[in-house]
């Protein structure tokens, strides 16, 4: 019994001898935990910034701070390896210099405390960006969860619609939306970096929303399409009536004005007739599609019919409006001239006010000369009023462009001061 007793007393003695080093080691270990916690918090934010595609300046600023923390931790690990206070079975180690060990642990402690202070200083300088990165990264799982819930909800909505009327799920708008959602969900399932996951979640939300709209629209599509047919038919009938006035309008222009004033309109009646025939063909196709229960094909045909009708409308208007313009110009040539001259004078005042006379004065004077020539041409036999109107419009557009450029430069100059 005396052996173990003396051994225990010797062990207790050794532990007492190691107390200063043990205390220093415990304090250093706590400093290591503290440094690791602080460093890990910022490291996670830097990782988030990289994953979210942020700039590298934050990571570059963090690198020397992280290296300092790593070296301090390595100093602690080196000290504990060189100065083990216990052997492999936990008995006090008699073979070390206790004071040397204590100084090594204290030095490691000091290095880790300094490194922790550097981490704190870095965090303080970049607190807003660090916290924003962590928040952005933290919200991605919520976005993914919300996207999955949206996909599940709209899938159930599609199933319910199919139970009421299976044909509605065969509509191209619905099948296309379903395929888009399936593709988006497949991309979301593959995972990837944080930015990719966020984009995938957003794509799922958008696809779910598009499918929801398609499902809600499907039951009313046929009714809405059928109700559109009468209005299209009425518009085409109206165009046919208006087309009857085109030959008279062209004949009047040929009788009353220089033929050059209407030469570009000679083929308009035929072109309008072709457009109207195309519109009627598309209307017939739409009516057949409605009867066959294909509302989407009917909608496409209605859209095409309206486009052809718009073209016929434009051609008719160009003929009838040209006659009105020519008669107005013949009755009052100055009525077309005065607004253009006013625009030129207004532009001249603007360039004078801006001190840009040297740059634009001659150019604007040249526009006045163009107006003079255009109006003077009316003194010839069989004047070409349309040439005058066309030239005046060209002048006015040119002057308007000058005014816009002068004002834009003024805004830039003001912004630069």
Please write the tens of the pLDDT for every residue from 204-238.
999 999 999 999 888 888 888 889 999 999 999 99
Task: Output the pLDDT for position 129.
Answer: 84
Token pair recorded at residue 376? 């003077």
Q: How far is CA 337 from the centre of its chain?
A: 46
How far is residue 100's CA from residue 177's CA, in Å, rounded to a whole number? 74
Angle at which helix 98-125 crosses helix 127-164, to 10 degrees, equals 60
What do you get for the CA distance between the two ends of the chain, in Å? 97
Q: Where are the alpha helices (DSSP H) in 268-356?
A: 268-291, 295-331, 333-353
Q: In the chain, what is the greatest distance between 2 CA atoms, to the nearest angstrom?
A: 144
CA 150, 155, 160, 165 torsion-angle sign = positive
- Per-residue confidence at 415, pLDDT binned at 50, 70, 90? low
Question: Looking at residue 409, what is its pLDDT?
Answer: 87
Secondary structure letter of residue 257 according to DSSP: S
pLDDT-wise least confident of 13-17, 50-54, 168-172: 13-17
Mean pLDDT for 267-276 is 96
Please report which confidence band the pLDDT of residue 55 belongs to, taking 50, 70 and 90 as the band edges.
low
Percentage of the residues of the chain whose pLDDT score is greater than 70: 94
Sign of CA dihedral 93, 95, 99, 104: negative
Over residues 333-352, the pLDDT tens digits come to 888 999 999 999 999 999 99
Q: How confident is the model at residue 173 (pLDDT cuts 50, 70, 90)?
A: confident
The answer, yes or no, to whether residue 143 has pLDDT greater than 80, is yes
pLDDT at 4 over 60: no
Per-residue confidence band for 363, with pLDDT thresholds at 50, 70 and 90: very high
State the Cα–Cα distance between residues 355 and 294, nearest whole angstrom.
66
Q: Which residues pair with 92 in a beta bridge?
A: 86
Question: Does 303 score more than 50 pLDDT?
Answer: yes
CB 305 within 8 A of CB 279: yes
DSSP string computed for 355-415: T-HHHHHHHHHHHHHHHHHHHHGGGSSS--HHHHHHHHHHHHHHHHHHHHHHHHHHHHHHH
Three-class secondary structure of residue 86 per DSSP? strand
Q: Determine how many CB atoms are found less than 10 A away from the CB of residue 218.
A: 22
381-410 pLDDT per residue, tens: 889 999 999 999 999 999 999 999 999 988
Distance CA 140, CA 270 (A): 61
3-state SS class at 208: helix
Is pLDDT above 80 for 323?
Answer: yes
Can you give the three-state secondary structure of 107-154, one letter per residue?
Answer: HHHHHHHHHHHHHHHHHHHCHHHHHHHHHHHHHHHHHHHHHHHHHHHH
Buried b / exposed e along 100-118 (16+ C-beta atoms within 10 A): ebbbbbbbbbebbbebbeb
Q: Tell me, rounded to whole angstroms, the distance of Cα 171 from its chain centroid.
A: 29
Q: Distance between CA 292 and CA 233 in Å, rounded? A: 19
Query: Taking 70 as the threshold, does the pLDDT of residue 417 lie above it?
Result: no
> In degrees to the nearest 10, what's the CA dihedral of 369, 375, 379, 382?
130
Over 50: is that where the pLDDT of 379 sits? yes
| 42 burial type by CB count under 10 A (0-12 exposed, 13-18 middle, 19+ buried) | buried
pLDDT higher at 184 or 410: 184
Does 2 have pLDDT greater than 60?
no
Domain ranges in the chain are 2-125, 139-219, 244-331, 333-416
Look at residue 13 and tell me whether its pLDDT is greater than 60: no
CA dihedral 166, 172, 177, 182 (to 10 degrees): 80
Q: What is the mean pLDDT of residues 32-51?
A: 85
Which tokens is 390 given? 């066309």
Based on the number of CB atoms within 10 Å of its own CB, is 182 exposed (0-12), middle (13-18) or buried (19 or more)? Answer: middle
DSSP run (H or E) holding 175: helix 172-189
192-201 pLDDT, tens digit each: 777 788 889 9
**Residue 333: its pLDDT value, please?**
84
Contact 378, 385 (CB under 8 A): yes
Task: Report the distance separating Cα 316 and Cα 300, nearest Å.
Answer: 25
> pLDDT band at 416, cuts 50/70/90?
low
Q: Which residue in the block uniquely carries the two structure tokens 């209605």?
A: 302
Q: Is residue 10's pLDDT more than 50?
A: no
At residue 7, the pLDDT reads 43
**Helix, coil or strand: residue 92:** strand
Rounded mean pLDDT of the chain? 88
């Amino acid at each position: 019994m005396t052996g173990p007793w003396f051994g225990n007393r010797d062990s207790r003695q050794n532990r007492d001898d190691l107390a200063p080093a043990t205390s220093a080691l415990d304090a250093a270990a706590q400093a290591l935990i503290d440094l690791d916690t602080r460093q890990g918090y910022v490291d996670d934010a830097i990782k988030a910034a990289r994953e979210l595609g942020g700039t590298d300046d934050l990571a570059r600023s963090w690198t020397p701070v992280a290296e300092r923390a790593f070296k301090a931790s390595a100093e602690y690990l080196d000290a504990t390896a060189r100065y083990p206070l216990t052997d492999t079975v936990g008995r006090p180690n008699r073979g070390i210099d206790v004071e040397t060990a204590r100084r090594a642990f204290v030095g490691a402690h000091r290095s880790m405390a300094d490194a922790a202070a550097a981490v704190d200083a870095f965090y303080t300088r970049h607190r807003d960006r660090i916290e924003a990165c962590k928040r952005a990264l933290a919200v991605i799982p919520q976005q993914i969860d919300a996207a999955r819930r949206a996909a599940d909800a709209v899938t159930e909505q599609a199933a319910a619609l199919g139970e009421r009327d299976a044909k509605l799920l065969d509509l191209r708008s619905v099948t296309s939306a379903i395929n888009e959602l399936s593709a988006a969900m497949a991309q979301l399932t593959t995972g990837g970096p944080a930015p990719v996951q966020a984009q995938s979640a957003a794509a799922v939300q958008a696809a779910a929303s598009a499918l929801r709209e398609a499902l809600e629209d499907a039951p009313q599509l046929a009714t809405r399409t059928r109700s559109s047919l009468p209005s299209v038919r009425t518009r085409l009938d109206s165009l046919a009536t208006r087309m009857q006035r085109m030959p008279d309008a062209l004949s009047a222009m040929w009788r009353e004005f220089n033929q050059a004033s209407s030469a570009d309109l000679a083929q308009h009646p035929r072109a309008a007739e072709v457009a109207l025939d195309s519109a009627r063909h598309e209307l017939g196709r739409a009516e057949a599609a409605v009867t066959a229960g294909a509302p989407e094909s009917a909608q496409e045909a209605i859209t095409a019919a309206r486009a052809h009708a718009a073209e016929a409308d434009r051609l008719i208007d160009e003929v009838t409006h040209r006659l009105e313009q020519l008669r107005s110009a013949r009755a009052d040539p100055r009525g077309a001239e005065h607004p253009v001259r006013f625009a030129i004078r207004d532009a001249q005042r603007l360039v004078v006010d801006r001190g840009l006379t040297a740059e634009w004065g001659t150019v604007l004077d040249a526009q006045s000369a163009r107006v003079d020539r255009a109006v003077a041409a009316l003194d010839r036999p069989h004047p070409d009023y349309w040439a005058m109107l066309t030239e005046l419009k060209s002048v006015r557009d040119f002057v308007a462009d000058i005014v816009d450029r002068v004002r834009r430069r003024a805004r830039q100059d003001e912004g630069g001061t």
